[in-house]
Amino acid sequence: MKVTPVKFCLILIIASAFTWQCIGAWQDSQTTDEAVHLVAGRSYWQTGNFSINPEHPSLFKLWSSLPLALLPHSQIQTSTNTWKTRNEWIIAAEYLYTGPAQAFYNGRFLLFLGRWQMMLIWLGLIITMASTSWRRWGPWTSVAVTTLIAYDPNFLGHGHLVTNDVAMAFAYLGTFLALDWFTSKPRWSRLAIFSTVFALAQLTKFSAVILWLFIPLVMAIAILYRRPIMTWRWWWRSILACIIVTSIATWASYDFQFTRITSDPTIAHLWQERAKIVNTDGLLSVPAYTRLFVRLSNPSSMTGQLMDTVQHWSVPTYWYWRGLFSDASHNAYGHSGFLLGHASTQGWWDYFPVAIAVKAPLLLLLSVLAGTIVLLIESMRNRRRPWRQRYPFTFWIFGFPPLAFLAWSMTSHINIGVRHVFPVYVFLPFTIVAVLRYLQHYRPKLVPAIALSVSIITVIVATSAWPNTIGYYNALAGGTNDGHRIVLDSNLDWNQDIWRLKNFLHQQQFSDIHIALFGSIPTPTLFPNALPILNDQQIHDGLRPTGIVIISAGILYDVHGSLTWYRTQPARWRIGSSMYIYDYR
């Protein structure tokens, strides 16, 4: 195969971005959720018990922990009291930082193996977007689209993490691409591939459940566009295929198990909580989701008697359904979040639009704006043409999915990071297609220059942000230094700079260190000589900090935190985007 200059450019873009992912996978410390996901997957391979971290589907945890399952001497200690309590956070911390596997291999190496698996998923996403844009719109468009996603600081930061956010973006995009491919020429072989991709999306993240609504809708619209090739008969076949393949794949990912409901200790706790709510008349203080459960589980009612009977049954893929319920319950109760100086557990409707606006590079936002304007102009020019020409089916594959997912996400009560709308974000680079197609029609000679300019600027932005990719904010937010005023949590501090902090302290050899770190990494293990930090009340009482004081951004800017006095003090050093170091020697 002849390698043209454009192909070489594209290969260079992907290969260099993957190299950056490898470097980030080694340099970034374990982010908050990674250890739990990795160790949960390792426990699935080892014990066949899926009770650890059921709030996420099992597939990506099994995938990320596969190298660990193949390593000798990497088992989890299941004879300890920690394992018996099933506290996933403590189990994960012990495995990576104090357990026998850590002593044999080093926890950093074990984490890197898991991250390697996730980088392969990131690579699959990038190649898919590159090949799709090349095939549909040409080589120079592919260069621009690929660079915009591969060198986006958010994807550079999250693409190597043992989380399911990038995987969900890939699965979401892949489902609609497979749907477009299938409906363009319905065949049983294509249906098999489409339904498999759909099933994999369901096993990546529970938010993919919304595809059960989106996919039938877009398939019905495809019938309007692609008659007589696409028919209602194929529509029904597709729905049935998705149900069958997803059911089999889900059961397979949970080892074809039947699980007795009463074997889940959470069920007993759930009934205890029900009794507590009823006895204390606490129904008014719980979400409507919980109030409905309390009413339906009334022992004197028919539904309550049925639930009491059902809980003794053995259920296939029980831990999938338990995780789905847990995720829905989490969303109903909400999660502490931060937006524009305010804290809430119920979220804000505009959280994710604001997060995208301040976390996405300005060039990407500009391409979205320019692409939208071009599409509106074309729509006005084509207003006398048939509706299929005015509004091509391409919109339902590349326009509807991100808009629909964003609208659905805006109802979420869990507002803790732009990563949760990566299924929206991954479609944004395609907006530059409209701009380049417009130029191709009127100024074709400008297309290579614009594509290369976009690529060069994107790489420059990524280089300037490195290695603070997780904590990147654009100029609208005032950059990373001022981003904490707008959105926090995994947008800024997700534990990613602790190894950088450890290297800095090793070089400086400070004798008096006071540390307060956000996240799940055990501070005494990595910093055994660290001392506690004086809080606001102690400072108000007249005490003054001494030595070196280190505070991570997640704690420093916590609206309800007790270390707000330090915000008024100038930090002498800043490690990464999340570590503030004050010198009171």
Of the listed ranges 67-81, 304-318, 363-377, the least confidently predicted one is 304-318
Longest alpha-carbon distance in the chain: 81
- 71 pLDDT band, cuts 50/70/90, is very high
pLDDT at 283: 62
Share of the chain above pLDDT 70, in %: 95
pLDDT at 281: 64
pLDDT, mean of residues 20-34: 96
User: Omega of the bond prior to 100 within 30 degrees of 0, cis?
Assistant: no
Rounded to the nearest integer, the mean pLDDT of the chain is 92
Return the exposure string of 360-371: e unless at least 16 CB atoms fall within 10 Å of the residue's CB, then b: bbebbbbbbeeb
**Phi-psi map region of 86: left, alpha, beta (phi>0 left; psi -120 to 50 alpha):** left
pLDDT, mean of residues 438-453: 91
pLDDT at 479: 93
pLDDT at 519: 80
Residue 282 predicted with pLDDT over 70: no
pLDDT at 299: 77
pLDDT at 330: 86
- 53 pLDDT band, cuts 50/70/90, is very high
- 289 pLDDT band, cuts 50/70/90, is low
H or E element in which residue 67 lies:
helix 66-70
pLDDT at 126: 98
The DSSP result for 516-582, as a single string, is E--SSS-HHHH-TT-B----HHHHHTT----EEEEEEHHHHT-TT-S-GGGGGSPPSEEETTTEEEE
Residue 442 predicted with pLDDT over 90: no
Residue 532 predicted with pLDDT over 70: yes
Q: How many helices (H) and strands (E) does the chain have?
A: 30, 8
SS (H, E, C) 79-130: CCHHHHHCCHHHHHHHHHHCCHHHHHHCHHHHHHHHHHHHHHHHHHHHHHHH
Instruction: Report how far apart, in Å, the C-alpha atoms of 546 and of each of 312, 567, 582 are.
Output: 59, 16, 9
pLDDT at 449: 94
Of the listed ranges 21-25, 57-61, 175-179, 290-294, the least confidently predicted one is 290-294
pLDDT digits (tens, 9 = 90+) for 100-153: 999 999 999 999 999 999 999 999 999 999 999 999 999 999 999 999 999 999
Share of the chain above pLDDT 90, in %: 78
pLDDT, mean of residues 214-235: 96
- 390 pLDDT band, cuts 50/70/90, is confident
Q: Which residues pair with 551 in a beta bridge?
A: 516, 580
- 285 pLDDT band, cuts 50/70/90, is low
- 401 pLDDT band, cuts 50/70/90, is very high
pLDDT, mean of residues 317-343: 90
Tokens of 405: 């997912």
pLDDT at 286: 61
- 95 pLDDT band, cuts 50/70/90, is very high
Whole-angstrom distance, CA of residue 465 vs CA of residue 467: 6
Of the listed ranges 389-398, 423-432, 480-489, the least confidently predicted one is 389-398
pLDDT at 504: 96
